[in-house]
Structures are given as structure tokens and as C-alpha cells.
Structure 1
């Protein structure tokens, strides 16, 4: 009997956890800060409904209809001459998941090590703090392995007893930490300027096409569409699940957490400016990796005795966000091994995480030539290309037993949704693909 989610709330928390990753905490606020603040936020919310939710629905619909891993699902539903392409895209989803998890575990290890390093500093254990907060091969190997073992531990227990149960624990913890950090950050001098920048839109910027394209890209990546994670989660839903309502719920929770991340990061940046921290590169605010590992630690160090403990909470927040994503994406190769190679879950988990560990080891040992290349290949090419293919499968390649086609026949709203997925969304996704891959 195939494993499945036990409850609706369990699925929503797990799927939102898959979507809520490091990109939400550092990627979304960076895009907001560098693309018009409140104007970007408004455009982003519109794009979520126009592009991201239909794409999320399409990915979940493929998995739910086929009740299988991405290889079998895309092969089965890409009918006729497109079947070999569907099979190829399924295998690329499995490979892409392993590659994504290889660099994601390295970065997640950095988050965990920074959390523990600042905690050690807070308690005056400087020897440990120096080791943890200064990059070294030994440190990176140890903490990448720790995070790999954490992912394996959850996935090993299965969908209901592992992924669903831990998602119910991790997601509320993440939200509580996020809200507590926001409350503290908003008390700092200068934070109110960042809050104004974030929440008060400049409507004259909303016609800027660069904001629209950036919002489309961020909305798509924010919901973790394109590597089969949402597809495999959709396949674990019981027959008759209301995919439309679930898609809306997952997107709403993911967007809410991204919004909270903006409430934390952007006021923190302006608080840093007030304290004399360098947060800019030319006309733009520093973002992503430099923001997390350079700017914010400098801000935390300027906070006095509270700084190390605020930093610990912040990096634990990022560690939790990373774990909710890794346990979801790891299920893609694990489900493939179980269903296509007929392995038991413990063996499938060990084999999948061993392959990911091997890739991670190569990235750590050959960081300069490999790391950036792998990140670019997965995030800028495979994610948008796979998302486009999902839309083409649902809109064009899947004919027999097409659930969306069948239910659209009796509903004007669903007919419009089908036409939206068939025509408008592929055009928008093509624009996103061109922008992130070649822009």
C-alpha cells in the first residue's frame, strides 16, 4: 500500500514547508528591496495568483492523477510521441533534486553552524565560536553531514510518521521564531524607515517591466515548483482531494511567510544603516549570501549582549526553513527508488542520501569551479524549464482521463482555468525562463 498524508493540515504544512526555504528568507526580501519595495510586493501578490498558483496546481495535479513518482507520472501523462520527453523530464527531476539537495545541504550546514557559533559566543565559549564561525574544510564536512543525517532521519520514517509529523512541529516553530525576531527588530532605530519602504508602495514604479519579470521569477521559485517535490506530495494525497483549495492554502501560507520575512529583513537592513553597517553595493542593497553571512552578522555584533542570541534565533530560523525543504525534495529520489527500483524505504533513503552526500562532498572539495555552476544549472535552467513542461503536460500533452479537462466541462470557472493554464501560463513561464536563463 502506498504511503499518504493523514490529514489536510499535515499536507498543507508539509507542502508549504517544501516551498518555504532559504529563498523565502533571503531571496524575497532582496527582490523587494531592490525592485521598488512596496510596489514589488503588490506586483508579486498579483503574480502569485496569475502564474504561481496555476503552476503549483498543475504540478500537484500530475502527481495526484498518476499516483506515482515524477518519472512514472510524466511518462504516463505525456501521451503519444511526447512520452519519451516526459520520461526524460522525469529523470531530470530526480537528478535535479539530487543536485539541488547537494548544494542545499552545504548551505543548510552553514546556517546551523552559524546558529551554534553565535550561541557559543553568547555564552562566552570563544574557542568553539571561533571554530564554528570561521570557514574550514573540517567544519563544512561535519555540518553538511549533520544536516544530511537530519534529512535522512525524517524521510526514513515515511510520509505520515516522518514528513507530516515533523512538518507539524517545524512549521509552527518557524513562524513563532519569525514573529519574535520581527518584534525585536522593529524596536531598533532606523527600522521604521525600512518598514515604510516595505509597506508603502510607489505606484509610479508598478509599470516598470523589470519589476514584473522579477516578481514572476520570484513567485515561481518561492513555491518550489519545477523539481517534482510538489508532484510527489500531490501523489501522496488521497483520491478525491480538492487540489484547487489545497493549492490556494499552500500558496497563501508560503506567501504569508515570505511577507513576514520581508518584515524582518528589510527593517533589519535599515537598522544596519542607522548603526553604520555597510549594506549596499552601488545603488542596490546587498542581498542573498552576502546579506546572510556578512551584513546581518555585523548587525548582530553591533547589538551588544543581545546580539549573539538574536543571531542564534535567526540562523535557527533559517536552519528550520532549510530542513522543511530538504525533507520534501529528498522524497523525489526516494520515491523513485521505491517505486521503480522496488527498494524498501530504509534502503531507498540510504541510497538516495548517499548519492546526495557524494555530490555534496564534490561541491565542498571543488567549491570554486563547481558550486556556482550547479546552482545556476538547477535554479536558472531546470526549475523554469520543468515548470513550463508541467503546464504543457496538463494543457496539451495529456488527453485521456485529464481530470482538469473533465471537470472544466461542467464549470465556467474551471473552463477559464484550463484555458489560462493552456495558453497564458506557458507564455508567462517562457518569459520567466528566458529572463532567468539568459537575461
Structure 2
């Protein structure tokens, strides 16, 4: 078995903090900073926040433990890790197929995500040229031309590949431990600034004070479940691959909880910044809600509505606009490095290729697909995004869940979690978790899939 030698030579994260920040970084993407506040704004603010926090614990956390445990057990890429869960040759074939489906998720998501990452880089550069009074450059960066989209997308890929080629410790861990604290610092700065504006307090109340009449709303519950699920990139393979770089000495449920807390904190803090900012923008005459109370431009909230708020504040607003887009670019990058890491790990492990060349070749291949999307934007962007996030990712999550719950033996699962946490089965979580993953999680994931068709 190649896996045994692999486990010996496999690179691991150098520190607990490094792992937590890298894994949380993988989970923290535009879904937290763009998706979460948008969902909260569309679904009653505080009520959505309460249900979301509950769903993170009930749906996302137990599944995060499964994905990380599968990765750490296999000490390999998603395909070989899934095969390692069973000794039955037929089940191993099915496991490998599940691993391949899982691997298609980060590759498909990266294809459209990098385009959005490219927009962020362009908006960031546009905000800088605006401050410097370079009008022509600003117009180009903020416009929506094919050339500008290509420039942004390729720049985003280059940054992603440069980090991934460094490996786990020198690339992913080194940069995650710098970028994630920077993310929180920039958020804190923005929060303090926005709270000094008129209208911000009203937005904060809308976000933090729940309307309990709305808490039981079916649409809100399903939206919160879906958001919680995507927030931790369940089914996205990143957690499985990062789990495989985790030492057997570590307490896995505790690490998973820390990742969950950091990820949820980012979503929560994003809401603290974005919701008051929306109300500040409304005070300044920017229309955000339609007559029926629905959000007018949920998909472009981050790109159009919030910059309008900064625009009205002179040069100080321009500086904060730069901070804002830098923050979003960092969040996008901490996710994209985990997406590219999945196929890079597979190819370099299977074919013993050098990490540097593998990162550039695979990054280049996915980038080619992104270029095709850029040239056929209207027809392809929404389609690829929908296939990746509404079909592939939930399907992969369901398959990981079924495989982890039903094919992987209870004894082997518990043994994996007892490494680094010998008292695992003595606590209530350890007693409940194996059955919960087997019966409850698949139903919850199936519900998320059903809701996305609804």
C-alpha cells in the first residue's frame, strides 16, 4: 500500500494555529463576506443569524468532523483517502469514484470563483488609481470589458499558484497565518469607521435583534441551513485534504470546532460591517430594498452598493474602499489556495511530480477553462456557478456523508477520532456522533439539495 509510505513522508502543518487558520481560511471566502450578510439582509437580519448559528452546530460541524477524519485516516488525496475507508475491492472502487466527484468540486468552483477574485483585484486597483487621480485607468478597472476580466482572472491565478507551489508549511500555512489575522484587523478597522456614520446603529439593531416571529419561517430555515453548509465548504474537498495534513496526535473534534468558530466569527463580523454599511448607504439615498422588502441587487451588493457608501465620504472613503477590496481579495485567496491544493495533491502524490511544476500546470489548465468562461460570460458564468454549487458540492457532501456513515466501519471511525482524543467515546458528542452521521446528516444534506431545487 502506497499509503503507508505516504503517511510517513507526508508533510504536516507545523502548528495548531497554522492548521486552524488555513482550514478556516479555506472555509472563509466570499460566501462569508458576500453571501452571509446578503442572506441575512434578505431573511430578516437577527432571525437569520440565530437560525444560522444553530444550523452550523447541527448540520455543518458534525459533517466537518467526518470530512477531516476521512482525510486524516487516509493521509492522502481525496481519491485515495476514500478508498482507504474499506478493504472491500468493490467498495474501494465506489470510494475512489466518490473521491473523483469530490475533486471535481474545487476545480469547478475555482473556474468561476477566480473570475470573481479577478474582479476584486480590478476593483482594488481601480480604487487605488482613483485615489491617485488616474481617471482613464480607473474607468478601465471598474468597467466590465473582456480584457479587464482576463487581466483580473489571470492575476488571481498567479497569486494562487505562487502560494500553493510553496507546499503546506512554506506556502499554505505561512500565508494563511498572515492573511487571516490581516482579514480580522481590516474588518475591525472598517467596523469602527462605519459605526461612526449615521444610520449604522439602525443596521446593527436589524442584524443583532432577532424578530422571533420569523425564526420558524421555512424559507429562512432552509436558507440558513444552506448558508451554514456552504460556509464551511462541506463537500468541497478542502477540509478533507487539510485533514490529511493534520498530525494523528491532534484532537480532531476540537480542531474542527476551532475551525468552525473562526469561520463563523468571520461571517458574523462580516454581518457587523455589511449590515450597518447598508443602512448608512440607505441614509445617503442609495436604494437597497425593493417595495416588497426584498434585496434589490443581492448578487452585486458588494460591488455596487457598498462602494457607493464610501464614494460619498471623500478621500477618506476612497482609502476605506481600498481596505474593503483588499479584505475581499484576501478572503477569496485563502479559499482559492485550498481549491487548487486538492488536484495538486492528487497529481503530485500519484505521479510523484514536483509540486512547483504541478501547481503551474494544473493552475494553468483550470485557468484556461476560466478564460473560456470570460469569453462566453453571459452563457457560461451563471451555469458553471450553479452546477458547481447547487449540484456538485451538495452531491459530493451527501456521498462523503453516506460513505463515512455507512461504509466506514464504526470501530475504525472511532479509533481514528480516539487518536489525539482518547476520551472521545466518553463524552455525549462521541456517543451520538457515529449514529448522527449515519442517519441524521444524510437527511439534512438531502434537505439542502431539495431546497436548492425548490
TM-score by length of 2: 0.93
Selected match of 1:46 from 54, 61, 72: 54
Indicate how the Cα distance of structure 1 residues 276 and 413 shifts in structure 2: closer, same or farther if over 3 A, else same.
closer
Please tell me the root mean square deviation across aligned C-alpha atoms, in Å: 1.6
C-alpha contact 2:105 2:237 (8 A) present in aligned 1: no
C-alpha contact 2:105 2:236 (8 A) present in aligned 1: yes
Indicate how the Cα distance of structure 1 residues 26 and 413 shifts in structure 2: closer, same or farther if over 3 A, else same.
closer
Distance in 2, matches of 1:22 and 1:79, equals 39
C-alpha contact 1:26 1:287 (8 A) present in aligned 2: no
Segments of structure 1 that go 5 or more residues without pairing to the other structure are none
Distance in 1, matches of 2:169 and 2:86, equals 30
Query: How do 1:56-75 and structure 2 match up within 5 A?
Result: 56-75=64-83
Quote the residue 1:35 is aligned against. Answer: 43
Selected match of 1:428 from 440, 444, 450: 444
- Structure 1, 4-13 or 287-296: larger mean CA deviation: 287-296
C-alpha contact 1:79 1:398 (8 A) present in aligned 2: no
Indicate how the Cα distance of structure 1 residues 47 and 405 shifts in structure 2: closer, same or farther if over 3 A, else same.
farther
Selected match of 1:350 from 354, 360, 363: 360
Query: How do 1:11-410 and structure 2 match up within 5 A?
Result: 11-77=19-85, 80=88, 81-281=90-290, 282-399=292-409, 402-404=412-414, 407=418
C-alpha contact 1:99 1:359 (8 A) present in aligned 2: no
Distance in 1, matches of 2:82 and 2:366, equals 23
1:79 deviates by 5.7
Q: Deviations over 1:373-409 (max 9, x none)?
A: 1100110011111111222122111128623267566
C-alpha contact 2:98 2:400 (8 A) present in aligned 1: no
C-alpha contact 2:102 2:393 (8 A) present in aligned 1: no
1:56 deviates by 0.7
Q: Deviations over 1:293-317 (max 9, x none)?
A: 2212222222222222111111111
- SS of 2:352's partner is coil
1:131 deviates by 1.4
Segments of structure 2 that go 5 or more residues without pairing to the other structure are 1-8, 419-423
Quote the residue 1:414 is aligned against. Answer: 430
Distance in 2, matches of 1:410 and 1:321, equals 38
- SS of 1:53's partner is helix
Indicate how the Cα distance of structure 1 residues 134 and 256 shifts in structure 2: closer, same or farther if over 3 A, else same.
same
Q: Deviations over 1:131-151 (max 9, x none)?
A: 111121211111211111111
Distance in 1, matches of 2:209 and 2:217, equals 17
- SS of 1:285's partner is coil
Number of residue pairs matched? 438
- SS of 2:270's partner is helix
TM-score by length of 1: 0.96
Q: Deviations over 1:345-364 (max 9, x none)?
A: 11211221011111111110
- SS of 1:36's partner is coil
- Structure 1, 83-92 or 23-32: larger mean CA deviation: 83-92
Distance in 2, matches of 1:303 and 1:86, equals 55
C-alpha contact 1:227 1:383 (8 A) present in aligned 2: yes
- Structure 1, 86-95 or 374-383: larger mean CA deviation: 86-95
Indicate how the Cα distance of structure 1 residues 25 and 333 shifts in structure 2: closer, same or farther if over 3 A, else same.
same
Indicate how the Cα distance of structure 1 residues 400 and 198 shifts in structure 2: closer, same or farther if over 3 A, else same.
closer
1:258 deviates by 0.4
